[in-house]
């Protein structure tokens, strides 16, 4: 497995164009081995080549936590144990074994799983936007990120900054600020700092696409990201809005010569979802987009033996639930890779078709 690079506005794998067809999953970096394996297996069956999951967990989740405040040292301390970063070690190793790349955000704008609010609480700051301004918080973020980049994986023996299954780091998941100049300055500083510490991996902001061009102009930012949730954004015509949104962002990327990745999208309507996804995904294909990642893929919850709950209405579990994405995989990804045994894929997909879609929580619930 090679490190993914960027040149001439495209992702590259050992020089060849690398088109992304993937999905998000917010829990697989810190869940049990069985639940992690189930998500990776579902991704393989569908034919996905990238999964996006947080490399942060600043508050406990089912007994796991990546970092927490230590009153004795008066600082946030990283948990390197079996219920801490060793779980991320296994995700990185398992993804490599499966031939899947990882897109890893380093902090959450939203309070789910700790996020910026947790840092604000630790330092007694006034508001979420102090995350970008407070000197102590900025240093705490750098400290955590430094320990992530320089961590030696207990499974592979490599430092994270050398792991080939990591496609890219993201500064944050959906960062926002009432004063855009403050956020842009933060991105400038943190992107330069991360690139000084990890020159191998690609880097993105992880934003929704509302401040695209200023971010793309930053040399250390290798590609742009944008998200698409027309229902949550109160757009009357999801198809028309999505087509405009996609075209605008792909054009912005072409203007700067950097890939633009639709790294989150979702429709809650089970009736309309497949038709809308099909239209959006064909637009990305026709406009030579870099790729896309749906929100979100889940599988079995080993606490209940049932499908992991669909808390926000976007979750799918198999190709049967999103045939538009499966067809997109065949058209978009398989054009650049050797043909696979389609009958084998159908056989494997049938194993998951009995799973009914339930409800699950996003790691950025707006």
Calpha distance 355→366 (Å, rounded): 27
Beta bridge pairs of residue 301: none
Q: Give the H or E element holding residue 94.
A: helix 85-98
Q: How many CB atoms lie within 10 A of CB 304?
A: 9
Catalytic residue list contains 263: no
- Got the DSSP string for 120-158? HHHTT-SSTTHHHH-HHHHHHHHHHHHHHHTPBPTTT-S
Which one from 96, 163, 174, 263 is the annotated catalytic residue? 174
Please say whether the beta carbons of 32 and 43 come within 8 A. no
Catalytic residue list contains 170: no
Calpha distance 18→167 (Å, rounded): 11
Q: Give the H or E element holding residue 20.
A: strand 20-24
Residue 360 three-state SS: strand
Give every CB contact of residue 133 below 8 A, 6+ residues apart in sequence.
182
* Torsion angle of the four alpha carbons 200, 206, 207, 212, in this order, in degrees rounded to the nearest 10: 20
Q: Tell me whether strands 50-52 and 101-105 are parallel, antiparallel or unpaired.
A: parallel
Please say whether the beta carbons of 11 and 18 come within 8 A. yes
The residues that are catalytic are 174, 264
């Amino acid at each position: 497995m090679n490190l993914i690079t960027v040149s001439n506005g495209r992702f590259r794998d050992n020089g060849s164009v690398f088109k992304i067809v993937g999905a998000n999953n917010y829990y697989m970096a810190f869940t049990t081995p069985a639940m992690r394996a189930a998500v990776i297996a579902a991704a393989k069956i569908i034919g996905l080549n990238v999964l996006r999951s947080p490399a942060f967990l600043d508050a406990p989740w089912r007994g796991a936590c990546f970092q927490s405040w230590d009153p004795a040292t008066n600082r946030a301390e990283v948990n390197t144990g079996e219920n801490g970063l060793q779980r991320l070690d296994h995700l990185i190793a398992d993804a490599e074994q499966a031939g899947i790349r990882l897109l890893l955000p380093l902090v959450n704008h939203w309070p789910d799983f700790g996020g910026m609010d947790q840092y604000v609480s630790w330092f007694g700051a006034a508001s979420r936007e102090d995350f970008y301004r407070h000197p102590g918080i900025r240093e705490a973020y750098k400290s955590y990120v430094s320990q992530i980049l320089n961590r030696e994986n207990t499974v592979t023996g490599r430092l994270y900054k050398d792991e080939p299954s990591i496609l890219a780091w993201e500064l944050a998941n959906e960062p926002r600020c009432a004063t855009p100049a403050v956020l842009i300055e933060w991105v400038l500083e943190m992107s330069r700092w991360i690139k000084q510490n990890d020159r191998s991996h690609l880097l993105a902001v992880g934003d929704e696409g509302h401040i695209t061009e200023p971010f793309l102009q930053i040399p250390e930012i290798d590609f742009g990201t944008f998200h698409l949730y027309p229902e949550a954004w109160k757009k009357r015509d999801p198809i028309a809005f999505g087509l405009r949104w996609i075209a605008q962002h792909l054009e912005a990327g072409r203007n700067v010569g950097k890939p633009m990745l639709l790294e989150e999208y979702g429709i809650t309507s089970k009736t309309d979802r497949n038709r809308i996804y099909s239209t959006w995904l064909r637009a990305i294909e026709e406009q030579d987009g870099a790729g896309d990642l749906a929100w979100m893929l889940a599988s079995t919850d080993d606490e209940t033996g049932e499908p992991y709950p669909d808390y926000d209405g976007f979750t799918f579990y198999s190709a049967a639930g999103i045939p538009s994405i499966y067809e997109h995989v065949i058209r978009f990804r398989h054009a650049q890779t050797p043909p696979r045994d389609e009958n084998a894929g159908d056989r494997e997909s049938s194993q998951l078709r009995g799973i009914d879609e339930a409800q699950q929580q996003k790691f950025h619930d707006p």
